[in-house]
Chain A
Amino acid sequence: AQSVTQLGSHVSVSEGALVLLRCNYSSSVPPYLFWYVQYPNQGLQLLLKYTSAATLVKGINGFEAEFKKSETSFHLTKPSAHMSDAAEYFCAVSDTGANSKLTFGKGITLSVRP
């Protein structure tokens, strides 16, 4: 069975600071892992996807995530936060492939202070 844990519901950083959003997964097989972003009152957008090709995955808007099998983690980072990064971020996992059953975490709200 697959599951995702996103610890904490809210992260606040200063503009220009490092963004680190944590995601831990549970999967009985090598997983497919995803990060999504949802801007206020908008739909979702795929940030990046891991499918075993490379452990460090670069996504849109300067975000990247590193797959660490030993830690069962897929944390999302961005070196320097912008005000426009304020949004809700969701991590998701699939045991069976990118186009199949997908389980999401509960999401983390990122606030960026000026």
Chain B
Amino acid sequence: EAQVTQNPRYLITVTGKKLTVTCSQNMNHEYMSWYRQDPGLGLRQIYYSMNVEVTDKGDVPEGYKVSRKEKRNFPLILESPSPNQTSLYFCASSFQGTSGRYTQYFGPGTRLTVL
């Protein structure tokens, strides 16, 4: 079954304590991305990766880091979390075929609370 998994699904932490949210896909997709969702602000892209070792900033990259050492994994790292990073986070992977067909899958989300 094609899927994007995120861990943990829920996390409550304190300001300044480094954390990593993992994202893994089993579809061999080259493209992966991270988003945060906040009430009234919709979704905002944090980082995206077009392939292994290729990452780029989205609209709100401040306070986040990512790495893409292997195709299936794209972890999101918060080196020093702050309360304004309390949010619902989604990871996604996608593929654009040569025929033009486009498929995209989202993970189930990670609800992060930073106290």
B-binding residues in A (CB < 8 A): 6, 9, 42-46, 49, 51, 53, 90, 92, 97-107
B-side binding surface: helix, strand, loop or mixed? strand
- Given A98-B96, A102-B48, A104-B45: A43 and B31 interface contact (C-beta under 8 Å): no
In contact, B100 and A51 (Cβ under 8 angstroms)? yes
In contact, B108 and A43 (Cβ under 8 angstroms)? yes
A-side binding surface: helix, strand, loop or mixed? loop
| Contact residues in A for B44 (Cβ distance below 8 Å) | 104
Q: Quick check: is B56 within 8 A (CB to CB) of the other chain? A: yes
Name the distance in Å between A42's Cβ and chain B's nearest Cβ: 8
In contact, A101 and B58 (Cβ under 8 angstroms)? yes
Name the distance in Å between B1's Cβ and chain A's nearest Cβ: 15
- Most chain B C-beta atoms within 10 Å of own C-beta, residue among A6, A44, A46: A44
